[in-house]
Each structure stands twice: as C-alpha cells, then as structure tokens.
C-alpha cells in the first residue's frame, strides 16, 4: 500500500509540475524531461493537427486514443470461404464487399470537379506556413536567449523569408550562437521547422530574379480526366467483414480451418484494405511491395487471387521473417511459388525488372501508435533525427517506386501512409512527381474517388479529399485509419494539367 501511495504521489507531483509549466513557460530541456513519449506525441499533434483540422481535431484525437476498428478478411486459401463467411455473419458482422456493391448502384458516380476545395487546400498551405514560421521563430528565440555571443536576432533577417531559408538561418544561428560543447543539453536540441520545409519549399515566393525559368526536373503535376480514369473493381475474392459503426463487438482470434489447418481469417484495421484495392490487381499483373514487412498488405494482395506474382522487399531481416511467418499461417508455406523475397534498401531499389503494380507503403509518424505506445515511439528523444528525416526517406522510396513501375499504359503505383500529416502525404507525392525523371505519370484522383465514394456514402469510412489523394480520418464511432492513399498511373495518352 505504501508503494502505491508513493507512486501516486510521484505521478501527482509530475502532473502538477507539468501544469505549472503550461502556466509559466519552462526551458525546453526541462520540459522534455516531464513528458513521456506519448505526451510528446500528443503535444506535437495538438499543436500541429489542432491548427490544421480545427474543430475536427478533438473527434480525430479521441479516435486515435480509442481502440481501432477492425475488419476480418476470410482466408481464400482455405478453400472454405462460404462456411467462414457464414461464421462471421453469425457474429453479427456484415459483408463490406456487398455493401460497396449496393452503394455503388444506389449512388451513381458524378463528374468529379478537380478544382473543388482549392480554397480549403490553399488554406492548408497558409496554415502550415504559419506553423512553420512560428516554430522557426521559437527555435531562433531559444538559440538567441542562450547565446553568450554572436549575431543579434535582427541580423538573421526575420522578415520576409522563403521556407528554404528557414533551416539555413536556424543552423547558422546554432553555429554562431552556441558551441555544442558549452551549452548543456543543446546536443539534444532539434529543429522541428525542418519537418515543414519539405512541404512548403514548392510553394515559396519567387526569388529576387523573377525572370528565372523553371529548373530542370520541376515538372507539373498531371491529373487524369474523368473519361480517362481507371474503373477500379472490388476484388472478387477479397471479402472483408465488419461490425456496425459504434459497435463494441470485436472479432475473436481466428481458429484454424478443419480441412486445411490454415487460419480462417485475418483481422486488419479496416482502412488497410484500401491501398490493396487501389492497386487494381488483375490477372497478368506482377506486384512489388517495396516495404513489405510485416506482411499484412502482401497477404491481402495474394488473397485477391488476381496477381501472377509478388515481390516482397524489406531491408530488415526481422521484418521479412514476419512476412514469411504470416504466409505460413495463412498459405501453409512461408515461400509460395508466386512470391519472391528481396532485401534491398527501398530508397534505392535496383528494380532489376519492371512491375505493373508497385505498392509504396512507407514508414511514417504512425499517429495511432505514437499516441498509444510508449516503447520505441517515434517521438522518443533519441529518435528525433529519424522522425525529422521521415519525409526525405519517404520521398526517396517513392522516387524508387516510380522508377520500378513498367511504362505500359495502365501500370500503377499506390503510395500510402497511416498518418494525418500532409507533410508526409500530399507533400511527398506532389514533390516526388515534380522532381521525378520518369515521364507519363498521372494522378488518378478520379478513379480513386469513384472507388472510395461508395464506402463513404455507406458510412463505412470518414473520407477527406486532399489534392491528389484521399485521407481516411478516425473518429470514436467510425474508428478506421488514419490512412492516406494516392494512386499514380502510367498513361501515355494526353491528360490535362492541374497546377499544384
């Protein structure tokens, strides 16, 4: 009992100290000591997403902190789909594939206006710019307050700046102000404004020489017209089941099928089916999963029975081992004939062959995990540099994926994350497409919207349209996601240009 009282007292004291910090601004190094990894994540999200999503953020936040909503996908490799489906129906779950089909018939697809919501999207740019400038000013302020000698703050040109100058100014200030050997704790100081610069650099105001032409590789982003977009189908053998929104029901662990001894179904966060469906797998396609571990999406791709081969790539042996283990559980072999395993750095994948489908499901902030899991959290201080480097890593992986796709009409790349951050979503896609050397690439926003709208109309997902993709956002009663999906296709025929 005495130990419990001591723990309670210690926790109370820490919370009280944190509350005092909120009232009286505390030095950043002392503040960091008070926050555990989850608190750091929530502080970041409240500041970032709170400003970005406004009144919608509290509902999203509650969703992230609540248990996610799962779908159960019957294992086609058991050969007993019908009994498994009946079993799931008996639990009270409904067939998502059938619901999608019914909703598609009820809600006739309308012509998509690609200029819709441009005002709201422009406001996102403005908000991100304001957040970045605020963080930049705070970082300079910290450096200036602790400076024994060096430039005055005014000499750092705090007036009109492009985002490209933010990091250089702060880095210059750090070098001039604070020798790392003299200021205790500054070796842990990192520049959060770096995170925003990658998104906003393409939206900078022109330099002084406004007559300068576009640099090589600064492409326009192309969108398919409605009559050119792909007609994406729900895979015949992918039959997810889910409980009604707001239901407290959960799927029990999957039993083994009596005849095949394979797992009857796999449970996934429901939004995870969308990148796989967006691939539009068909007989004759070969798929590259660039970041395959832990293997859930690779398994779903195989469950569609609609691809001739799949290459599962991951740099880490432990993650490839997890892919093979999940194959063993659901396919009966860790090395199926149609699967190949490679171990390359996805940022520079050699792509010895070209693929008709490429899945680029990149490492990201992983908002839900960051908000709920303390261990190995991306907001752990020792992982700060890794967190700030995520955008660069994501863009390099996407660049690699764009090179790996074959150049035949209809080939497709799907980029996905499980974060709400437009820096890692919209920003990565837009910048990668502007910088890539690969030609004839088009954003298939229309095809993706036609695929996802029936889900939205049926109330399965809460969907937000971004610039060239869609975002599934979580809430307490519709707690799928977050999941961001962008579909890019090879289309030699003419498409119209939408300026980014």
Residues of the binding site:
314, 361
SS3 category, 123: helix
Residue ranges of the alpha helices (H) in 268-362?
273-278, 296-303, 317-331
Give the Cα-Cα-Cα angle 218, 162, 49 (nearest 5 degrees).
90
Q: Is 418 a catalytic residue?
A: yes
> Any residues with CB less than 8 A from the CB of 234 and at least 6 apart, and which?
97, 100, 101, 277
Question: If you count DSSP H runs as helices and E runs as strands, how many of each does the chain have, helices first?
Answer: 17, 15
DSSP state of 467: S
The CA dihedral of 379, 380, 384, 387, to the nearest 10 degrees, is -40
Q: How far apart are CA 317 and CA 187, in angstroms?
A: 32
> Any residues with CB less than 8 A from the CB of 329 and at least 6 apart, and which?
262, 263
* Beta bridge partners of residue 286, listed in sequence order: 309
Burial classification of residue 347, based on how many CB atoms lie within 10 Å of its CB (0-12 exposed, 13-18 middle, 19 or more buried): middle
Residue ranges of the alpha helices (H) in 251-315?
273-278, 296-303
Among 291, 312, 371, 418, which one carries the catalytic annotation? Answer: 418
| 8 A C-beta contact, residue 131 and residue 47 | yes
Binding-site residues from annotation for S-adenosyl-L-methionine: 314, 361
Residue with tokens 């210690």: 10
Q: How far apart are CA 216 and CA 214, in angstroms?
A: 7
| 8 A C-beta contact, residue 427 and residue 390 | no
CA distances, 225 to each of 32, 115, 120, 415, 450 (Å) = 49, 12, 22, 20, 13
Both structure tokens of 91? 């639990």
> Any residues with CB less than 8 A from the CB of 324 and at least 6 apart, and which?
295, 334, 335, 341
Mind telling me the catalytic residues? 418
């Amino acid at each position: 009992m005495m130990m419990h009282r001591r723990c309670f007292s210690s926790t109370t004291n820490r919370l009280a100290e944190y509350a005092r910090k909120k009232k009286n601004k505390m030095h950043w190094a002392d503040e960091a000591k008070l926050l555990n990894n989850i608190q750091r994540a929530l502080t970041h999200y409240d500041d970032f997403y709170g400003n970005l999503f406004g009144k919608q953020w509290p509902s999203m936040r509650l969703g992230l902190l609540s248990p996610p909503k799962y779908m159960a996908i019957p294992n086609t490799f058991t050969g007993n789909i019908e009994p498994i489906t009946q079993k799931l129906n008996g639990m009270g779950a409904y067939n998502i594939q059938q619901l999608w089909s019914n909703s598609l018939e009820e809600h006739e697809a309308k012509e998509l206006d690609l200029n819709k919501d441009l005002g709201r999207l422009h406001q996102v740019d403005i908000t991100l710019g304001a957040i970045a400038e605020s963080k930049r000013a705070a970082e300079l302020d910290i450096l200036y307050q602790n400076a024994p000698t060096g430039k005055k703050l005014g000499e750092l040109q705090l007036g009109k700046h492009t985002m490209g100058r933010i990091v250089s100014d702060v880095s210059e200030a750090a070098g001039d102000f604070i020798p790392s050997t003299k200021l205790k704790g500054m070796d842990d100081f990192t520049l959060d404004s770096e995170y925003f610069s990658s998104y906003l650099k393409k939206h900078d105001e022109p330099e002084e020489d406004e007559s300068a032409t576009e640099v090589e590789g600064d492409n326009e982003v192309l969108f398919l017209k409605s009559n050119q977009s792909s007609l994406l189908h729900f895979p015949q053998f992918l039959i997810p089941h889910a409980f009604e929104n707001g239901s407290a029901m959960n799927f029990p662990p999957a039993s083994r099928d009596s005849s095949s001894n394979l797992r009857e179904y796999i449970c996934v966060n429901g939004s995870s089916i969308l990148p796989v469906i967006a691939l539009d797998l068909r007989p004759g396609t070969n798929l590259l999963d660039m970041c395959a571990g832990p293997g859930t999406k690779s398994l779903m791709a195989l469950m569609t029975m609609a691809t001739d081969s799949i290459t599962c790539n991951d740099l880490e042996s432990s993650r490839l081992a997890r892919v093979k283990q999940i194959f063993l559980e659901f396919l009966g072999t860790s090395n199926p004939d149609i699967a190949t395993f490679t171990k390359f750095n996805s940022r520079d994948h050699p792509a010895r062959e070209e693929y008709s489908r490429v899945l680029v499901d990149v490492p990201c902030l992983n908002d839900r995990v960051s908000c709920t899991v303390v261990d190995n959290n991306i907001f752990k201080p020792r992982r700060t540099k890794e967190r700030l480097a995520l955008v660069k890593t994501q863009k390099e992986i996407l660049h690699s994926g764009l090179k790996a796709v074959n150049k035949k009409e209809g080939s497709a790349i799907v980029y996905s994350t499980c974060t709400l951050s437009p820096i890692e979503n919209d920003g990565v896609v837009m910048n990668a497409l502007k910088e890539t050397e690969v030609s004839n690439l088009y954003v298939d926003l229309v095809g993706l919207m036609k695929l996802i709208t029936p889900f939205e109309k049926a109330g399965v997902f809460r969907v937000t349209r971004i610039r060239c993709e869609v975002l599934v956002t979580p809430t307490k009663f519709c707690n799928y996601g977050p999941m961001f999906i962008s579909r890019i296709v090879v289309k030699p025929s003419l498409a119209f240009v939408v300026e980014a």
